[in-house]
């Protein structure tokens, strides 16, 4: 989910027996009553544990369901649909590897 905060978010925040993993954090300047203020826009996903094995699938689920992933295993790797999926998975692995 997309989120925004006035304060720089922590990478992990405890929530409901697990963690909110915040990533793709980008500063955004906003005009607030004639005054520029910095906010932070970021993606956030719930994970059970703070490890790559839990983070990667959680990020993938933000865009692809399990059924979508099963479909990707059956379609040609030459299709644009598969290439987009593969690029997204590689990005999820890269993001999780930075933790």
pLDDT tens sequence across 18-47: 999 999 999 999 998 999 999 999 999 999
- What token pair was written down for 99? 């933790």
Q: Give pLDDT, residue 54.
A: 97
Q: Give pLDDT, residue 41.
A: 98
Q: How far is CA 64 from the centre of its chain?
A: 12
Read off the pLDDT of each residue in 61-74 and give the average, rounded to a whole number. Answer: 95
pLDDT(99) > 90: no
Residue 61 to residue 89: CA distance in whole angstroms = 10
Q: What is the CA radius of gyration of the chain?
A: 16
Q: Give pLDDT, residue 76.
A: 94
Residue with tokens 């915040």: 22
What global pTM score does this model have? 0.88
Residue 68 to residue 99: CA distance in whole angstroms = 26
Q: How far is CA 87 from the centre of its chain?
A: 14
């Amino acid at each position: 989910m997309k989120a925004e905060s006035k304060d720089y978010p922590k990478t992990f925040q405890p929530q409901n027996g697990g963690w909110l993993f915040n990533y793709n954090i980008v500063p955004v300047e906003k005009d607030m009553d004639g005054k520029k203020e910095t906010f932070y826009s970021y993606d956030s996903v719930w994970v059970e544990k703070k490890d790559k094995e839990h983070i990667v699938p959680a990020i993938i689920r933000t865009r692809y369901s399990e059924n979508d992933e099963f479909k990707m295993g059956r379609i040609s790797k030459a299709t644009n649909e598969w290439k987009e999926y593969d690029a997204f998975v590689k990005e999820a692995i890269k993001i999780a590897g930075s933790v």
